[in-house]
Amino acid sequence: MHRLVEHGHSSGKRAGDWYGPAVVAHILRKAVEEAADPELRGITVYVAQDCTVYCADVIDSHGERNQRPDADAGAGNRAVIILIPVRLGGEKTNPEYFDFVKGILSLEYCVGIIGGKPKQAYYFVGFQDDSLIYMDPHYCQSFVDVSTSDFPLETYHCPSPKKMPFSKMDPSCTIGFYSKSVQDFERIKEEVSKVLRPSAKEKYPAFTFMKGHGQDYDLSGLLALERKERPFLGDSRKTGASAGDFVLL
């Protein structure tokens, strides 16, 4: 938690400030990248750029060797947590995306969605009918002395999940997937592509997969094209949302 707050300073955030889902994704990537815990050496975080997952970048993340001086010589194939910041509407989540969210949360490789409702952060882990199932990271519990060897692990979790109507979901969120290997990533692409396929009503997918590396493309040009030709579904761009909700760091 302290490391996350520390990285938040580079994004102009202070402890206690509101961290949007996109900012959180990038801060998590930095924190995991610099983590000294041996348990985290076999995993890395990839954050999609401008609602686009560049396949070669994810595959490279799987194969990168741990560059720490004390890394094992065979430390190569790493698992990747893929985080994709998206916006599913203007001031409110467009109802046309509800089925999309249900489809994403139903996938085997999905690890949940960082989101919430306006000014309240939640972690969505599933759904039931027309309600999202979430865990509240702000649930207050008694202080635990972690210096002891047998401190209670259950204090890291809410005692029970809660439900919230889809209609209250904030449109700004970050979707997460866990890919243990390149083979897993290929399956993720295949399964997610089915969910992303626009219906007759949906003209634009929430995000896309592209071949190659992000550096192979002129991202500034793509961003301009996105703003001109790919508006968010149901978004007339006449909202009061801040630039931080749309632009990834």
Enumerate residues 6+ apart whose C-beta is below 8 A from 61: 44, 46, 78, 80
Residue 44 has pLDDT above 50, yes or no: yes
Mean pLDDT of 198-216: 79
pLDDT at 64: 53
Whether pLDDT at 191 is above 50: yes
Average pLDDT over residues 68-86: 71
- 217, pLDDT greater than 60: yes
Average per-residue pLDDT for the chain: 79
Decide if pLDDT at 158 tops 80. Answer: no
Mean pLDDT over 81-107 rounds to: 93
Contact (CB, 8 A) for 182 and 59: yes
Which of 26-40, 41-55, 111-125, 158-172 is predicted least confidently? 26-40
pLDDT more than 90, % of the chain? 44
* pLDDT band at residue 211 under the 50/70/90 scheme: very high
- What's the CA gap between 157 and 125, in Å, rounded? 13
Q: What pLDDT does 16 receive? A: 78
Return the higher-pLDDT residue of 4 and 248: 4
Comparison of pLDDT for 24 and 63, the residue scoring more: 24
pLDDT for residue 48:
96
Mean pLDDT of all residues in 149-172: 83
Q: Which residues, in sequence order, are bridge partners of residue 80?
A: 44, 179
pLDDT band (50, 70, 90) for residue 231: very low
- Are 33 and 47 a contacting pair, CB within 8 Å? no
pLDDT value for 183: 94
Q: Which of 75, 74, 170, 72 is nearest to 115 (CA)?
A: 170
Q: What's the distance, CA 28 to chain centroid?
A: 9
Number of H helices, E strands in the chain: 6, 9
Q: For residues 65 and 20, which has the higher predicted lDDT (pLDDT)?
A: 20
Q: Which residue has the tokens 């749309």?
A: 246
